[in-house]
Structure 1
Amino acid sequence: MMSNHVIARRATAAGVVMLAAALASQVAAAEGPRFAGPLLSPAPPLPVGMLNIEPYLINSQLRGLYDENGDRRDASGPDGWYLAVPIQYGLHERVTIAASLNASYNRDDGNRRAFDIGDTTLSALFGLYKGEGVHRPTLTLAVRQSIATGHHDRLEERPISVASGTGVGATSLGLHGQAYFLDGHLRMRASTLWRTPGANAGVRGQSAFGTPVGFDGRVRLGAAVTSLLAAEYSLSPTWVLAGELLHEREGAGSVHGRVVTATGSQDMYRRDPASWRFSIVPAIQYHWNDHVALVAGAQVSLAGRNSSAVFVPQVAVNMGW
């Protein structure tokens, strides 16, 4: 028969073991995979009350043009610097509201630079499905509305003749999916966003659509589809590799109006052909903790038609509370 002293000592030892196991479990959970999201692919709805802010610094470089046959031709132009600040808030377990504020610091052909406010985007994410188990799949419906807060026309009256917006208030609908694999170390996302056709805006003078001084008319955009396939792989609780495949497709648009000059006026009509571009977007994530991570990478276009060939390095700081 055991003495009370031995029983007490074993009980204390058992308590220490249980406490150590609990602490080890907490440490393991804390040191599990962390993901900040790729540079472009949208996330499912946030937990209720969670706020996420992820400012981006983007440098856009023109490297060439893809013609109507898909052949790449040499072209160059001034780099563009952009600041984008997406803000998301978990309003409900299935609803997240968001806004993206944008600005640019551009240089025109005359080597003049200026800071300008860009267009604003408002969106809402609705969780359609949230599964359990090792894969934890989700399916999300997105509704997005762009608001013309930037400058798109009368550029001859501004400090530089570079547009900071499109002037078009367009509505887009999207479906986003997400799932986990390899014991949670691999996260995959698939997304498609469809911009409804018929978005249009009034245009005067020099504009983002290549109209000349004296022009007065309208621009009409076709439908557009942006498709993304993304993967994130956790190397450690601190480092994550990410990559995305990006396909952008835009339907034919048109510009119509009149051009008034000192010698008279004439009608102007231009139809812009449909275009597409395929890019890869490799990136790397560094996580300081569960709330702050740095994401850096670049969009590199590989093929296209009636579009620009671009190299777009960018860095973002993902912060969630």
Structure 2
Amino acid sequence: MFSPSPAETKAGVLAVEPYLQGSVPSGRFDSLGEVRPVTAQKSVSQYTLIKYGLTDRLSIYSLPTFSYGWGNGKSSTGVKFNDLPIELHYNILTARPSRYRPSVTAYVGFIAPTGDYSGLSHSQDGVGQGVWFVRFGFQSQSVYRVMGHAVRLRVWAVGRQVLTTAHLRDTTSYGTSDGFSGTGHPGAFGNEGASFEYGLTKRWVMSLDLYGTWAGSTELVGKYRKAMQAVHTQSSWSGSYNLGPAIEYNWSPDMGSIGGIIVPFTGHNTSRAIMPEVAVNMVF
């Protein structure tokens, strides 16, 4: 559910995978990893993985995302368009299952600041960071046969490094309120992990994602205009480790579905939310 996929292996192939993901807050990990109670809005996100093979090795990828939040005694956010990632995926090494050789894909791209982040009506309306990020990383995939069943292993590591600074005013996704004027500089963030898929039959597959996420400190500089109160804060590093069991069903080699749930089981300085998820995969 969470692991990134390799580049397409044929020019002209289009992969489309729409997801629907819920988020139910269940506390917050403090600096020692203890779960503390918090109150936060529930949310649902719809994002669609779109990947097109430009050549037999090079693919272009995007992940447009819409989200909607509600509850916790606050007004709903309405439907929001989030920041937009666009990447190039290059297949450095092509898999050869007969020789147990894995594929290796390199990623490079950017995240465009398309989501609302400043001058908000309510703080919960913020779905963006207002900065450009460069995205980079790699993914490796291999397939084996274990006791007569197909097993697929993926490993990956992906990072995002900020390139610009967000100019902030009033209520923002950085936690400021009316009267604020200043800048925000998010830290780098990323994730790494492994996923396992075990083919029960030709159509039914069990899968498991094990991965960690991390984020560097965010610097906030500015002042509240009326009170002339200076602000200069820097958040702590944060991270979590997550487990994502799922079940897949494939109608054909070109179409299938997956459903599962992502559960953070440990972390520090970050929110904790249970995330059920369903998706349909289509290849044209």
How many aligned positions are there?
A: 279
Kindly provide the amino acid, as one letter, of the partner of residue 42 in structure 1: P
Kindly provide the amino acid, as one letter, of the partner of residue 267 in structure 1: A
Q: What is the Cα deviation at residue 94 of structure 1?
A: 1.0
> In the alignment, what sits opposite 1:77?
40
Is the strand fraction higher in 1 or 2? 2
Confirm or deny: 8 A CA contact 2:65 2:84 kept in the other structure.
yes
Confirm or deny: 8 A CA contact 1:277 1:301 kept in the other structure.
yes
Larger Rg: 1
> In the alignment, what sits opposite 1:16?
none
Kindly provide the amino acid, as one letter, of the partner of residue 295 in structure 1: I
> In the alignment, what sits opposite 2:112?
147
Q: Following the alignment from structure 1 to structure 2, what is the Cα–Cα distance between the partners of residues 193 and 228?
A: 9
Confirm or deny: 8 A CA contact 2:213 2:240 kept in the other structure.
yes
> In the alignment, what sits opposite 1:270?
233
Q: Following the alignment from structure 1 to structure 2, what is the Cα–Cα distance between the partners of residues 310 and 232?
A: 24
Decide which moves more: 80-89 or 193-202. Answer: 193-202
Confirm or deny: 8 A CA contact 1:49 1:90 kept in the other structure.
yes
User: What RMSD over aligned residues (CA atoms) do the two structures have, in Å?
Assistant: 1.6
Q: Following the alignment from structure 1 to structure 2, what is the Cα–Cα distance between the partners of residues 149 and 197?
A: 15
Confirm or deny: 8 A CA contact 1:103 1:164 kept in the other structure.
no
Q: Following the alignment from structure 1 to structure 2, what is the Cα–Cα distance between the partners of residues 276 and 95?
A: 32
The unaligned stretches of length 5 or more in structure 1 are 1-38
Q: What is the Cα deviation at residue 233 of structure 1?
A: 0.7
Q: Secondary structure at the match of 2:252?
A: coil
> In the alignment, what sits opposite 1:243?
208
Decide which moves more: 194-203 or 284-293. Answer: 194-203
> In the alignment, what sits opposite 1:185?
150
The unaligned stretches of length 5 or more in structure 2 are none
> In the alignment, what sits opposite 2:6?
44
- Give the percent of matched residue pairs that are identical in Structure 1 and Structure 2: 27
> In the alignment, what sits opposite 1:232?
197
**1:205 and 2:173 equivalent?**
no
Confirm or deny: 8 A CA contact 2:206 2:248 kept in the other structure.
yes
> In the alignment, what sits opposite 1:254?
219
Q: Following the alignment from structure 2 to structure 1, what is the Cα–Cα distance between the partners of residues 235 and 84?
A: 25
**1:302 and 2:265 equivalent?**
yes
Q: Secondary structure at the match of 1:68?
A: coil
Confirm or deny: 8 A CA contact 1:197 1:221 kept in the other structure.
yes
Q: How does 1:113-128 map to 2 (within 5 A)?
A: 113=76, 114-128=78-92
TM-score (norm 1): 0.83
> In the alignment, what sits opposite 1:8?
none
Q: Following the alignment from structure 1 to structure 2, what is the Cα–Cα distance between the partners of residues 161 and 70?
A: 25
Confirm or deny: 8 A CA contact 2:124 2:173 kept in the other structure.
no
Q: Following the alignment from structure 1 to structure 2, what is the Cα–Cα distance between the partners of residues 42 and 111?
A: 34
> In the alignment, what sits opposite 1:168?
131
